[in-house]
């Protein structure tokens, strides 16, 4: 779990000692929410729809449903199937979407480059020789399906965020509700809500410290809790009903539904809470390994939960007092009730922490893919990659959690709301996994259909029961999801339209090269970083800038910060650097690539590293241009291409010096080019790739020793001049040229489109973090160019 994502896939994870350690650590991060579900499952199930009778058919039927639900969904679906659909070890909704986008052209933002496919993390399953995947062809053919797929992904994302509001509330409230067994009803009524709110405020107030500060407490707490509930379960089974295991038979499910009929179907909305937190196994896969999560669930979490539910059912099967409150704590012996209560509160805090961290992570991913307004992302750990904190989201979640607690005031309504959110996320995962089976794994369509029908039908059964509780709390996640969907889809739609506008209004290279003293254009000292979403061409905001202020910097760099459909981009592959025009113009293009789980650098390290990458590129590019004394045998015949159309990956490995070499260049994996410089002691690894060429190339460099020194001297002077210009410009200062955009709907647009763009998007833009804040640009170095996008 090093900060450098490239180490996340180190083979050292394969040792059994490491796997067992990761399995232990996963208890605190992955299983906190799932492990505390016994606190509220029986309480929610018997809240209103069904009653506990002398025949015990309701209790036995509920236990049977819980057992088979835990077996089918978390164990069979997630552990054995979904966890295998990882994206370079990462899991979650965006990991599935990323996999599909890499194997099929379904992304709505057309900034995909062939060079991206050379990334080491851009792994793809090898397709059969005759790849006639009808599902893939269908997805790529219709743009409406691209939009529909994005909407499904956003729906799952919104429900995860909604779960981030509901899970802390129901978890802490259910744990604190144990006071009702030890207090009078009058005192209990006035104690539970304030205590719950106080714990929630403390939980959210401590988020800015990061989970790594208290994370080492999490695993022992959850482990102790699991051992506690399993021990209590065994105690209740042996004391009250040793034959409770017979209720695990599916026969009791049918008997339960036969007796309770529609009320039994409605009660499924409470039973499904036993699998809350199952999605965390997949979402947090990137911090652990498939084997670690599989071992932890199969051999510890799953048996402990089954024993806990069996123990509760065994106790209730022998207690039929109508005044009995069906709660987890009534089955706890009075002598240990207070320690169990304290442990339950600690476990609920751990479970809440996991979903809060997951909410931060998924919002950061949404932001990376242009689906969420810009927010401040703070990296809370220098050692553990992916631990982040988002201040705005944190306080909004806290206010909503407290509002839910005060507004609902009971487990029933919170459970109905949480259940709908959980089942929606699981349905989205099932649908996306079915597509991965066909499009990415190249399995028969019938296999994906069987997966979809089997697990989808089980989840739809629970989903239908949850939807019927709309007026009893299920309206909340629907309202939250609708609100978030509007925001996310509107932001993404406007982002696409802005990109298309920039693409159609970019200016030519000839226009840039024509700018000079004859037109009254001056070059001023310094480096100008022009930020744009375009990967090619000159952006319109720069032409607007030069038109209104006839001067630009001596060193000009067009910077594109883009997200690629991979979880992480290693530092060695992050920068694509190339020239814009001839070397004398001193203009460059730099594409900075991030994965959807990467946290962007702050501006200090970014500008320093960018200048260093330019230095490395200049040294490499001048070496490459020594065509007079270097013979190049290139099967692709690209030696005469202008360097302005080439982009070079500048990495960070050691540089190999040698007189002549022969290398095999290929995009997968990217080939490395090793060259020698007499004036350079340490260079970075450089990888040359043609932006539009993905064929394998064989290149041989042979250096003529007789004229080598003369050519090195001539080229060295020109290279030194360019480097001196770069360093002088760096000393003069770096300016960040950003577009300040206003979006307007074009004439003739519908009223809905005008409302969405003119008012909705611009309101979001004015009230979210600006690009300069997101990039941490010093105000003194900022130049903003106003742009009106008519879309």
Q: CA–CA separation, 575 vs 608, rounded Å?
A: 13
Closest to 24 in 3D by CA, of 220, 213, 211? 220
Q: What digits encode the pLDDT tens for the residues 25-84?
A: 888 888 888 999 998 898 888 877 677 777 888 899 999 999 999 999 999 999 999 998
Q: CA–CA separation, 590 vs 503, rounded Å?
A: 17
Which has the minimum average pLDDT: 97-106, 156-165, 342-351, 375-384? Answer: 375-384
Report angle CA 697, 703, 705 to the nearest 5 degrees: 170
Closest to 309 in 3D by CA, of 61, 97, 515? 61
Query: Predicted confidence band at 662 (pLDDT cuts at 50, 70, 90)?
Result: very low
Q: CA–CA separation, 116 vs 102, rounded Å?
A: 10
Q: CA–CA separation, 207 vs 748, rounded Å?
A: 48
pLDDT in the model for residue 780: 85
Q: What digits encode the pLDDT tens for the residues 591-631?
A: 988 888 787 765 556 788 889 999 999 888 887 766 544 44
Q: Percentage of the chain surpassing pLDDT 90?
A: 30
Task: Count the residues in the chain.
Answer: 791
Contact between residue 544 and residue 784 where contact means Cβ atoms under 8 Å apart: no
Contact between residue 742 and residue 722 where contact means Cβ atoms under 8 Å apart: no
Q: Which range scores top for mean pLDDT: 159-168, 702-711, 714-723?
A: 159-168
Main-chain dihedrals φ then ψ at residue 527, nearest 5 degrees: -110, 130
Q: CA–CA separation, 555 vs 584, rounded Å?
A: 10
Q: Judge whether residue 656 has pLDDT over 50.
A: no
Q: Judge whether residue 415 has pLDDT over 80.
A: yes
Report angle CA 694, 696, 697 to the nearest 5 degrees: 115
Q: What digits encode the pLDDT tens for the residues 758-772?
A: 999 999 988 888 777
End-to-end CA distance of the chain: 44
Contact between residue 455 and residue 73 where contact means Cβ atoms under 8 Å apart: yes
Q: Judge whether residue 403 has pLDDT over 90.
A: yes
Return the residue matching tokens 């600690």: 346
Crossing angle, helix 57-70 and helix 251-260, to 10 degrees?
130
> For residue 257, what are its two tokens?
């539904």
Contact between residue 60 and residue 262 where contact means Cβ atoms under 8 Å apart: no
pLDDT in the model for residue 130: 54
Characterize the bridge pairing of strands 551-563 and 522-531. parallel
Q: Which range scores top for mean pLDDT: 230-234, 616-620, 636-640?
A: 230-234
Q: Which residues have CB under 8 Å from 608's CB, separation 6+?
A: none
Of the CATH numbers 3.40.50.300, 1.20.1740.10, 2.40.10.480, 2.40.50.140, which one belongs to the domain with range 22-111+140-478?
1.20.1740.10
Q: What digits encode the pLDDT tens for the residues 259-291?
A: 888 888 888 988 999 998 888 888 878 778 888
pLDDT in the model for residue 573: 87
Q: Which residues have CB under 8 Å from 499's CB, separation 6+?
A: 109, 110, 111, 533, 534
SS (H, E, C) 125-181: CCCCCCCCCHHHHHHHHCHHHHHHHHHHHHHHHHHHHHHHHHHHHHHHHHHHCCHHH
pLDDT in the model for residue 324: 57
Tell me if the bond preceding 669 is cis, omega within 30° of 0: yes
- Higher pLDDT, residue 213 or 536: 536
Closest to 609 in 3D by CA, of 533, 646, 557? 557
Q: Which residues pair with 787 in a beta bridge?
A: 741
Q: CA–CA separation, 734 vs 100, rounded Å?
A: 40
CATH 1.20.1740.10 domain extents, the chain: 22-111+140-478
Residue 355, classified by CB atoms within 10 Å of its CB into exposed (0-12), middle (13-18) or buried (19+), is buried
Q: What is the DSSP letter of 123?
A: -
Closest to 574 in 3D by CA, of 529, 540, 530, 616? 616
pLDDT in the model for residue 526: 93
- The answer to whether the predicted template modeling score (pTM) of the entire model surpasses 0.85 is no
Contact between residue 158 and residue 426 where contact means Cβ atoms under 8 Å apart: no
Q: Percentage of the chain surpassing pLDDT 70?
A: 80
Q: What digits encode the pLDDT tens for the residues 507-562?
A: 888 888 887 776 778 889 999 999 988 888 888 888 888 888 888 889 999 999 88
Q: CA–CA separation, 119 vs 98, rounded Å?
A: 14
Q: CA–CA separation, 543 vs 507, rounded Å?
A: 7
pLDDT in the model for residue 718: 83
Mean pLDDT across the stretch 724-744?
89
Q: What digits encode the pLDDT tens for the residues 151-200?
A: 999 999 999 999 889 989 998 998 888 777 666 666 666 788 999 999 99
Q: What is the DSSP letter of 552?
A: E
Contact between residue 267 and residue 83 where contact means Cβ atoms under 8 Å apart: no
Contact between residue 380 and residue 387 where contact means Cβ atoms under 8 Å apart: yes
In which element (H, E) is residue 103 found?
helix 93-103
pLDDT in the model for residue 321: 67
**In 3-state terms, what secondary structure has residue 469?**
coil
Other beta carbons within 10 Å of 748: 6
Q: CA–CA separation, 765 vs 741, rounded Å?
A: 9
Q: What digits encode the pLDDT tens for the residues 2-13?
A: 334 433 434 444
Main-chain dihedrals φ then ψ at residue 90, nearest 5 degrees: -95, 150
pLDDT in the model for residue 186: 63
**Mean pLDDT for the chain overall:** 80
Q: Which residues have CB under 8 Å from 305's CB, separation 6+?
A: 34, 35, 37, 38, 70, 229, 274
Contact between residue 165 and residue 397 where contact means Cβ atoms under 8 Å apart: yes
Q: CA–CA separation, 233 vs 231, rounded Å?
A: 5
Other beta carbons within 10 Å of 290: 16
> For residue 333, what are its two tokens?
């012996």
Q: CA–CA separation, 744 vs 756, rounded Å?
A: 10
């Amino acid at each position: 779990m090093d900060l450098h994502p490239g180490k996340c896939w180190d083979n050292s994870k394969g040792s059994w000692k490491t796997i067992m350690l990761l399995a232990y650590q996963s208890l605190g991060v992955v299983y906190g929410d799932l492990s505390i579900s016994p606190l509220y499952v029986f309480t929610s199930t018997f809240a209103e729809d069904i009653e506990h009778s002398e025949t015990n058919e309701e209790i036995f039927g509920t236990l049977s449903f819980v057992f088979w639900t835990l077996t089918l969904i978390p164990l069979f679906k997630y552990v054995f199937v979904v966890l295998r659909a990882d994206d370079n070890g990462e899991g979650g909704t965006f990991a599935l979407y990323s996999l599909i986008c890499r194997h099929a052209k379904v992304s709505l933002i057309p900034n995909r480059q062939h060079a991206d496919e050379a990334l080491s993390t851009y792994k793809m399953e090898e397709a059969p020789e005759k790849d006639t995947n009808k599902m893939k062809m269908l997805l790529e053919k219709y743009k409406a399906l691209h939009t529909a797929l994005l909407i499904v992904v956003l729906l799952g994302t919104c429900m995860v965020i909604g779960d981030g509001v509901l899970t802390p509330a129901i978890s802490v409230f259910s744990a604190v509700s144990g006071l009702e067994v030890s207090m009078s009803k009058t005192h209990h009524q006035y104690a539970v809500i304030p205590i719950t709110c106080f714990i929630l405020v403390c939980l959210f107030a401590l988020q800015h410290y990061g989970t790594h500060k208290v994370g080492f407490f999490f695993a022992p707490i959850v482990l102790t809790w699991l051992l506690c509930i399993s021990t209590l379960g065994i105690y209740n089974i042996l004391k009250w009903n040793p034959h409770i295991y017979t209720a695990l038979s599916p026969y009791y499910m049918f008997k339960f539904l036969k007796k309770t009929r529609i009320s039994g179907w409605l009660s499924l909305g409470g039973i499904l809470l036993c699998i809350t937190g199952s999605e965390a196994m997949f979402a947090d896969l990137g911090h652990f390994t498939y084997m670690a999560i599989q071992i932890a669930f199969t051999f510890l979490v799953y048996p402990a939960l089954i024993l806990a539910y069996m123990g509760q059912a065994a106790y209730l099967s022998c207690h039929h007092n109508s005044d009995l409150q069906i709660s987890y704590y009534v089955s706890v012996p009075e002598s240990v009730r207070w320690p169990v209560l304290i442990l339950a509160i600690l476990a609920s805090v751990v479970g809440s922490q996991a979903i809060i961290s997951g909410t931060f992570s998924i919002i950061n991913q949404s932001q990376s893919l242009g689906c969420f307004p810009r927010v401040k992302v703070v990296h809370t750990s220098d050692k553990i990659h992916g631990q982040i904190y988002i201040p705005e989201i944190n306080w909004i979640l806290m206010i909503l959690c407290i509002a839910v607690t005060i507004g609902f005031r009971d487990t029933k309504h919170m459970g109905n709301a949480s259940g709908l959110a959980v089942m929606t996320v699981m349905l989205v995962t099932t649908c996306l996994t079915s597509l991965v089976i066909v499009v990415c794994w190249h399995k028969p369509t019938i296999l994906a259909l069987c997966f979809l029908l089997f697990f989808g039908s089980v989840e739809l059964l629970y989903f239908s029961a949850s939807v019927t509780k709309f007026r009893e709390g299920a309206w909340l996640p629907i309202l939250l999801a609708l609100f978030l969907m509007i925001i996310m889809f509107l932001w993404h739609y406007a982002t696409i339209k802005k990109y298309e506008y920039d693409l159609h209004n970019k200016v030519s290279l000839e226009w840039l090269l024509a700018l000079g003293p004859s037109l009254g254009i001056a070059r001023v000292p310094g480096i100008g970083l022009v930020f744009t979403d375009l990967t090619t061409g000159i952006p319109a905001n720069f032409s607007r800038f030069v038109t209104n202020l006839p001067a630009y910097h001596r060193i000009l760099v067009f910077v594109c910060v883009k997200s690629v459909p991979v979880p992480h981009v290693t530092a060695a592959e992050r920068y694509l650097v190339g020239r814009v025009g001839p070397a004398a113009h001193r203009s460059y293009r730099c594409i900075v690539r991030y994965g959807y789980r990467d946290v962007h650098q702050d501006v200090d390290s970014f500008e320093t590293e960018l200048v260093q990458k330019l230095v490395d590129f200049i040294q490499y590019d001048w070496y490459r241009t020594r065509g007079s004394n270097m013979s190049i045998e290139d099967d692709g015949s690209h030696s005469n291409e202008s360097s302005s159309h080439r982009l070079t990956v500048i990495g960070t490995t050691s540089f190999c010096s040698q007189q002549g070499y022969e290398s095999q260049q290929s995009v997968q994996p990217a080939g490395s080019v090793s060259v020698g410089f007499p004036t350079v002691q340490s260079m970075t690894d450089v990888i040359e790739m043609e932006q539009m060429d993905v064929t394998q190339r064989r290149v041989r460099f042979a250096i003529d020793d007789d004229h080598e020194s003369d050519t090195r001297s001539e080229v060295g002077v020109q290279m030194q001049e360019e480097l001196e210009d770069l360093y002088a410009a760096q000393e003069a200062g770096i300016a960040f040229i950003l577009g300040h955009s206003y979006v307007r709907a074009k004439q003739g647009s519908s009223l809905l489109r005008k409302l969405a763009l003119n008012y909705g998007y611009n309101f979001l833009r004015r009230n979210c973090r600006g690009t300069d804040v997101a990039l941490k640009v010093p105000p003194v170095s900022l130049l903003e160019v106003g742009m009106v996008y008519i879309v």
